[in-house]
Amino acid sequence: MNPIPSASLLVAAISAIGLVTISAASETAAAPDAAAIRPDASYALGFRAGGNFAQNYSSFGLTAEDIDEAQFIKGFMTALREEKTGVDRDAMQKVMEQLAAMLQAREKELGAVNLEASKKFLEENAKREGVISTPSGLQYEILAPGGDEKYQAPEEGKPANKQFLVNYKGSLPDGTQFDASPEGKPVTMTLQVVPGFREALTTMPVGAKWKLFLPPNLAYGEQRRGRKIAPNSALVFELELVKIED
Q: Where are the domains of the chain?
A: 7-60, 109-245
Model pLDDT, residue 4: 40
pTM of the predicted structure, to 2 decimals: 0.79
What per-residue confidence (pLDDT) applies to 193?
95
Amino acid of residue 35: A
Each residue's pLDDT tens digit, 31-77: 888 999 999 999 999 999 988 988 888 889 998 999 999 999 999 99
User: Can you name the CATH fold of 109-245?
Assistant: Chitinase A; domain 3 (3.10.50)
- Counting as low any pLDDT under 50, the low residues of the chain are 1-12, 14, 25
Q: What residues form DSSP beta bridges with 169?
A: 180, 238
pLDDT for 160? 75
| CA dist., res. 167 & res. 240, Å (int) | 5
Task: Give the per-residue pLDDT at 3.
Answer: 40
SS3 129: coil
Type of residue numbered 223: Q
- Cβ–Cβ < 8 Å for 221, 232: yes
Q: Phi and psi (nearest 5°) for 2?
A: -75, 125
Give phi and psi for 129, each to the nearest 5: -65, 135
Sort strands 132-133 and 163-171 into parallel, antiparallel or unpaired.
unpaired
Does residue 224 contact residue 230 with C-beta atoms inside 8 Å?
yes
SS3 236: strand
Half-sphere exposure of 242 (CA within 13 A, CB side): 12
